[in-house]
Amino acid sequence: MLFLRPPGVYRPQGDTHLLTEELHRAGMPPGARVLDVCTGTGAVAMSAAGGGAGHVSAVDVSARAVYAARLNARLRGLRVRVVRGDLLGPFAGERFDVILSNPPYVPAVSGPPPAHGKARAWDAGGDGRALLDRICAHAPRHLAEGGMLMMVHSVLSGVEATLSALRDQGLKASVVARRNEPFGPVMRGRAAELRARGLIEPGQRDEELVVIRADRVESRS
């Protein structure tokens, strides 16, 4: 599927496709309220909207991404509410049946995540967890009873850290999909640094992506 993509907006790729495939394999409750966090072109949100969701919302910190996602949805005749903001910040008090995210997760060579520029789509602090940890901390309180969070990231940014952060919030979390993807230009460009830090093996040319699913189990009362 082709998406309108202004300069600097993330091109949907292997991680995007792995997440949408897994969403459709899992299925959504009819009429589900869905939120796509870090929407970029809106590819994941539109996949949910076209797959039977009731109300789809999406958020991105980038003004260009918000513009692209709104336009892409409109061009397809899909209803998606796209807002500009920081992760779940704009959704105070709202609950969703499904929260989806393909956030920035690439371990950076140095410093905190950038505040501007195209690297904001992938750079995620030294350990790759700057955004993941915040999503794990805040998404659970936005899940309706019986709702699920589905998120994709690389094993390089720590699968156990994600699982235990979500379990600590009372969710039932597991890895539901894995796929090896060849390094793209960003990973190739920082391979030497990641190798020096022991994050990848000498000669490694691909990374494993995982989809993590976390369910808010209904309470019995």
Region near ligand SAM per CB under 6 A, out of 21-29, 102-110, 139-147, 191-199? 102-110
Site membership for ligand SAM, residue 61 (CB under 6 A): yes
**Start-to-end C-alpha separation, the chain:** 45
Q: How far apart are CA 191 and CA 103, in angstroms?
A: 20
List the one residue from 62, 72, 154, 157 that touches ligand SAM (CB under 6 A): 62
What dihedral angle (degrees, nearest 10) is formed by the CA atoms of 34, 38, 44, 45?
40
Measured from the CB atom, the residue of 102 and 169 that comes closer to ligand SAM is 102
22 binds ligand SAM (CB under 6 A): no
Question: Does 44 interact with ligand SAM (rule: CB under 6 A)?
Answer: yes
DSSP label of 217: P
Tell me if 40 contacts ligand SAM by CB under 6 A: yes
**Do residues 66 and 74 touch, judged by C-beta distance below 8 A?**
no
Binding flags for ligand SAM, 131-160, as an x/- string (CB under 6 A): x-----------------------------
Q: How far is CA 189 from CA 3, 107, 109, 207, in A?
A: 26, 12, 10, 14
**Which residues are near ligand SAM by CB under 6 A?**
10, 12, 16, 38-41, 43-44, 59-62, 65, 86-87, 102-104, 120-122, 131
